[in-house]
């Protein structure tokens, strides 16, 4: 019975709304300049707002943290003062129409202060525009190439029917995305720098030395093959022949001589 009473009271309070949202001093920031790829043509890497909402209405267990992406190049219609924000009405496909959209819904407890033991396994960054393809209603879609925008976080209660935004952070500084370079505008006739000349010269010398070494090795192999043969030289045996006396022929001669004498 007591739990049912608390639930009814909670929904009654939710229906009343919060009035003017509380403005926090936190300013969302892009990662430091030493971080590679922090800003690209369609994305930007932000720090996540840990500890920012810890002291804001602790009883709001159903509250959600949303990221508001505001396109400063158009007339933004985002205003949370005395207004009800329904995230489903402000998705990324309305970026050009409304000048802003809501994305990256996160449960409030995900941004609680972290203990020292858990800081090594927590990802501190949030990349705006990294969802390709879009598979959710609150898609974190890529931003237009070269766009300039700003961001802020808001804490809202989805169960409140009026004035459901409880707290907002400050706007970030303007974030300028990179522009794509037109290949037709690249000057290919630009003079080479001193470093390029030195590297080219060294590579040419090394190639020449490698070619000379190859030719020398090839010449040595050819000369060695021409000076040797697989056939043995003929052996001169004239000086080593022995004279043999055929006793049979000598005996026949003697016999003929004897017959002649007779």
* pLDDT more than 70, % of the chain: 67
Please write the tens of the pLDDT for every residue from 82-114: 567 888 888 876 677 778 889 998 988 889 887
Q: Is the pTM of this model over 0.85?
A: no
Burial degree of 94 (CB within 10 A; 0-12, 13-18, 19+):
middle
Contact 163, 83 (CB under 8 A): yes
Q: Please give the Cα distance from 7 to 71 (Å, whole number).
A: 39
Class of the domain covering 24-30+38-180: mainly beta
Please write the tens of the pLDDT for every residue from 27-73: 999 988 777 789 999 999 999 999 999 888 777 778 999 999 988 86
């Amino acid at each position: 019975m007591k739990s049912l009473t608390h639930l009814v009271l909670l929904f009654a309070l939710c229906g009343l709304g919060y009035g003017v949202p509380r403005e926090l001093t936190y300013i969302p920031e892009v990662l430091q300049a030493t971080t590679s790829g922090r800003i690209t043509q369609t994305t930007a890497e932000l720090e996540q707002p840990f500890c920012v909402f810890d002291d804001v209405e602790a009883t709001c267990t159903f509250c959600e943290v949303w990221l508001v992406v505001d396109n400063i190049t158009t007339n933004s219609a985002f205003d949370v003062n005395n207004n009800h924000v329904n995230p489903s009405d402000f998705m990324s496909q309305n970026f050009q129409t409304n000048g802003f959209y809501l994305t990256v819904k996160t449960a409030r407890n995900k941004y609680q202060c972290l203990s020292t033991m858990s800081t090594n396994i927590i990802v501190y960054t949030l990349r705006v525009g990294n969802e390709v393809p879009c598979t959710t209603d609150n898609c974190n879609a890529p931003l237009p190439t070269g766009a300039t925008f700003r961001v802020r976080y808001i804490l809202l209660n989805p169960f409140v029917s009026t004035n459901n935004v409880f707290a907002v952070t400050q706007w970030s500084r303007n974030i300028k995305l990179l522009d794509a370079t037109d290949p037709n505008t690249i000057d290919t006739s630009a003079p080479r720098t001193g470093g390029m000349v030195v590297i080219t010269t060294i590579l040419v010398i090394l190639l020449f030395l490698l070619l000379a070494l190859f030719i020398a090795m090839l010449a040595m192999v050819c000369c060695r093959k021409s000076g040797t043969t697989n056939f043995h030289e003929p052996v001169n045996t004239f000086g080593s022949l022995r004279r043999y006396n055929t006793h049979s022929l000598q005996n026949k001669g003697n016999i003929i001589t004897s017959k002649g004498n007779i």
